Amino acid sequence: MFELKKNPREFIIDDMTESRNIESFGRGNRFLNISPENYIKVFCDKMPKKSLIPMILISLMDKDNKIYMTLDEFSETLDYPKTGLSVMFVEYGEKDFLVKIRNGLYMINPLVSYKGSKYERDKLIKEYTKHKDSNELKKRKK
């Protein structure tokens, strides 16, 4: 009468996975989109400011996934201590969320969030990887 299909579960053990198309109730393939500005508006009074900072950074990035701000400017904009931001940015770099290109210039990992087409995303991934690799080389030399 009823046929039950057994599908093996797939466990993803990667540290980070890429954005993927999702099947949403027979409507075809769709991307999952989140509006950073709306997310921040909804949760600004319900969550600690520290947990909203990654989403705020995503909302500040331009079409090249770059943020042109110094730590002083971030501190003023986010109303958060500069020393705390500095520590967080180091942690975000270790977790592969962002990379510091130079003073006042940061880039968000395009595998986390990006603006534009798939072709532009692929270019951003190459650029991000280049900056990440050069930062790792600088750390090894120290």
> Is the overall model pTM greater than 0.75, yes or no?
no
DSSP 8-class letter at 8 = -
Distance between CA atoms of residues 115 and 70, nearest Å: 22
Tokens of 14: 């990667």
pLDDT band at 42 (very low <50, low <70, confident <90, very high): confident
Q: Report phi then psi at 124, rounded to 5.
A: -65, -40
DSSP category for residue 13: -
Q: Give whole-number Cα distances, 17 to 9, 22, 98, 99, in Å.
A: 16, 14, 15, 18
pLDDT score of 83: 94
* pLDDT at residue 113 is higher than 70: yes
Residues forming beta bridges with residue 9, ordered by sequence position: none
Domains and their CATH numbers in the chain: 33-141 (1.10.10.10)
- Which pLDDT score, from 0 to 100, does residue 136 have? 85
The whole-angstrom separation of Cα 112 and Cα 121 is: 11
Q: Which of 18-27, 38-47, 115-124 has the lowest mean pLDDT?
A: 18-27
Q: What percent of the chain has pLDDT over 90?
A: 46
What band does 94 get if pLDDT is binned at 50, 70 and 90? very high
Using CA atoms, how far residue 77 sits from 12, 29, 72, in Å, is 37, 38, 9
